[in-house]
Chains A and B, each alone.
Chain A
Amino acid sequence: MTVVDTSIADQPRYDCRDAYVETLAELAHEDHRIVGVVNDSVGSSKLNSFRKAFPDRLINVGIAEQDMVGVASGLANGGRIPFVSAASCFLTARALEQIKADVAYSNTNVKLCGMSPGVAYGELGPTHHSIEDIAWLRAISGMTIIVPADPVETAAALRWAAAVDGPVFIRVSRMSVPQVYPDSYTFEPGKAITMRAGNDVTLISNGTVLWRAMVAAEQLAAEGISARVLSMPSVKPLDVEAVVAAAEQTAGIVTAEESTIAGGLGGAVAETVVQHHPARVSILGIPEFAPTGSAGYLLDRYGLSPEGIADTARRLVS
């Protein structure tokens, strides 16, 4: 069990794809209905070991995303539980209509796993960045959207998704992160997790940015600013109650995420606050087609470092 503390930035880092493939293999052993579906993305989804263990149950349709999601819908019609694993940029952009019509509107039991989302591909540039995926899928009725923050949450979200009947989108981070949850963590949709109590300002985050928000809260605490940190893995459905409580009880909310500032977690929080308890909200994310740079550089550039998040929080409460 890992206890969250001030040294989180110095703890070992993990690529969540490893937890993904390990969990998927466990689930496949437990339930014969589970299959993988890929667009040639065996290596980039780290599924080589899965293919070795279940050669018939890793369906590779080739570089063909529309077909990949349609095939997954058909597999679900036949009683299978397909886990579609593909780079999030191609999965969500190229197959968006299939996600809408064949998965969400048809209410098929398809799990969409967006690998290497956000700016994980760094220098490969905006064609390969997947910062729009959350906004696109949030607009689709019936879709559950989960952005896990560490390997424990990735595994827990997968287990939950396998057990429920219906469409789920899970982002699987490539950019390494420390473990922020205890091993006993279980995922619950529509629920925020209070990572740190506080009453001056609220930081709401998920995915690769959550640990950075936690470090930011430590920095703020040293200055006497008490920051509440809410982990919000479930972007849809959102924990409306926790957001409204933050709006009521603290001076403002900072959202921080590895996605576009339009329509992502920040958008979801802002929509909620405006309708239930108007409050000051600052949205941190990627506001443009990013220039060339590593993933870490880009997060820093857009204020998604601990220092950047703390700065925004300071401005909000001052």
Chain B
Amino acid sequence: MSKAALSVEHTTMPLLGRLPAHSSRAEQVAHIAEAARQIRIQDLKLVYHAGAGHIGGDFSAIDILATLYGAVLEIGPETVADPERDRFILSKGHVAGALYTTLAAFGFLPITELATFLKPLSALNGHPNRTKVAGVEANTGPLGHGLPIAVGHALSAKLDVSLRRTYVLVGDGELQEGSNWEAMMAASQYQLDRLTVIVDRNRLQQGATTKETNDLDPLPEKAAAFGFAVVEVNGHDHGELLDVLSAVPFRPGKPTFVIAHTHKGHPVSFMSNNVAWHHKVPNPAEYQQAMTELETVGQPRLAVSPRLDKELR
């Protein structure tokens, strides 16, 4: 097939919404899995037809986003301005395409609006803008900004004696920015136990592995030393993500640090864990193959388990 400019014909994702509150865990996990699959298919179309985007990081984070919006966050299109809503802050703002697609899947913006992605005057900029897109909480893009903002919001909730929660998704390479560690010290000092930091631990940054660049390990020990309750999960396992992200706080008085082991480009065979796909755009043959894999796997295959990931260290 030939590549065409992004248009409404490429925005065919179904509106998924939330399951009823009394749904079983199995129903929720299945719902998240299908949401993640649909979001990936739609995101692939966006990047392919727009000719730009960060598909590697998008696919690394989509299972986390689908879990949060599909079953964890107390927020929906009708409560997007409710002061008592849970907050989700996407600190790795370059995966805006994944966020927009997720927000569209759960009804925050019309699915057809995705056709404006990166076009002149579109609200859907390459990095998210809270003043233009419902559901976006902070204008991120420069790295190391989301975690301090999340700490500030969690502090406001504590001052209000509110039970609203704060989640922030950071990239692992992003943790090389010192501002994160400033914020982690403050989160611990103020005992913000309704704050959850999720690290998209795909071990790849723009041009190399984190290990080759500025190694973050031992990351769990570092986070624990900064006063966090640390949990490691398979960031592509919807059941594990659902159980962990719904269960915070793990330790009273401590903020939570979830290390979600992921692969950039997951689960597409030739993209997964391949540094070349940070912001590469697939050619027609690659697009077709990726689409076939996403459409036929049903539930995404797990390319890696946390155990294997540890062995790779």
**Which A residues are within 8 Å of any B CB, using their own CB?**
35, 56-57, 59, 61-62, 64, 66-67, 69-80, 82, 97-98, 101-102, 105-107
Is the C-beta of B186 less than 8 angstroms from some C-beta in chain A?
yes
**Secondary structure dominating the interface of B:** helix
A-B contact pairs, 5 of them (CB 8 A): A67-B148, A72-B152, A79-B83, A102-B139, A102-B145
Tell me the bound Cα distance from A59 to B156 in angstroms.
10
Tell me the bound Cα distance from A239 to B158 in angstroms.
42
B83 proximity list for chain A (CB < 8 A): 78-79
Is the C-beta of B137 less than 8 angstroms from some C-beta in chain A?
yes
Selected interface stretch from B68-76, B106-114, B177-185, B289-297: B177-185
Q: Are A61 and B139 in contact (CB under 8 A)?
A: no
Q: Are A102 and B138 in contact (CB under 8 A)?
A: yes
Q: Are A74 and B186 in contact (CB under 8 A)?
A: no
B151 proximity list for chain A (CB < 8 A): 67, 70-71, 74
Tell me the bound Cα distance from A102 to B179 in angstroms.
13
Is the C-beta of B131 less than 8 angstroms from some C-beta in chain A?
yes
Is the C-beta of B160 less than 8 angstroms from some C-beta in chain A?
yes
User: In chain B, what residue has the closest Cβ to A105?
Assistant: B139
Contact with A along B111-138 (1 / 0, CB 8 A): 0000000000000000001110000011
Q: Are A74 and B154 in contact (CB under 8 A)?
A: yes
Shortest distance from the beta carbon of B114 to any chain A beta carbon, whole Å: 23
Is the C-beta of B238 less than 8 angstroms from some C-beta in chain A?
no
Tell me the bound Cα distance from A102 to B151 in angstroms.
13
Q: Are A70 and B183 in contact (CB under 8 A)?
A: yes
A101 proximity list for chain B (CB < 8 A): 139-142, 145
Is the C-beta of B155 less than 8 angstroms from some C-beta in chain A?
yes
Is the C-beta of B157 less than 8 angstroms from some C-beta in chain A?
yes
Q: Are B178 and A66 in contact (CB under 8 A)?
A: yes
Q: Are B139 and A77 in contact (CB under 8 A)?
A: no
Q: Are A71 and B149 in contact (CB under 8 A)?
A: yes
Is the C-beta of B241 less than 8 angstroms from some C-beta in chain A?
no
Tell me the bound Cα distance from A136 to B197 in angstroms.
32
Tell me the bound Cα distance from A71 to B83 in angstroms.
17
Residue of B145, B155, B178 contacting most chain A CB atoms (<10 Å):
B155
Q: Are A106 and B138 in contact (CB under 8 A)?
A: yes
User: In chain A, what residue has the closest Cβ to B186?
Assistant: A61
Contact of A67 (CB < 8 Å), options: B153, B154, B166, B179: B179
Tell me the bound Cα distance from A75 to B183 in angstroms.
13
Shortest distance from the beta carbon of A61 to any chain B beta carbon, whole Å: 5
Tell me the bound Cα distance from A101 to B140 in angstroms.
7
Tell me the bound Cα distance from A72 to B155 in angstroms.
10
Tell me the bound Cα distance from A71 to B149 in angstroms.
5
Is the C-beta of B189 less than 8 angstroms from some C-beta in chain A?
yes
Is the C-beta of B87 less than 8 angstroms from some C-beta in chain A?
yes
Is the C-beta of B29 less than 8 angstroms from some C-beta in chain A?
no
Shortest distance from the beta carbon of A99 to any chain B beta carbon, whole Å: 11
Tell me the bound Cα distance from A282 to B154 in angstroms.
49
Given known contacts A70-B152, A97-B142, what 7 new A-B pairs fall within 8 Å (CB)?
A: A62-B186, A66-B148, A71-B149, A74-B148, A74-B166, A77-B149, A102-B149
Tell me the bound Cα distance from A77 to B146 in angstroms.
12
B185 proximity list for chain A (CB < 8 A): 62, 64, 67
Is the C-beta of B159 less than 8 angstroms from some C-beta in chain A?
yes
Shortest distance from the beta carbon of B187 to any chain A beta carbon, whole Å: 10
Shortest distance from the beta carbon of B286 to any chain A beta carbon, whole Å: 34
User: In chain A, what residue has the closest Cβ to B127?
Assistant: A101
Q: Are B159 and A74 in contact (CB under 8 A)?
A: no
User: In chain A, what residue has the closest Cβ to B141?
Assistant: A101
Q: What 8 pairs between A and B have smallest CB-CB spacing?
A: A74-B152, A78-B156, A70-B148, A67-B182, A64-B182, A71-B152, A66-B179, A74-B153
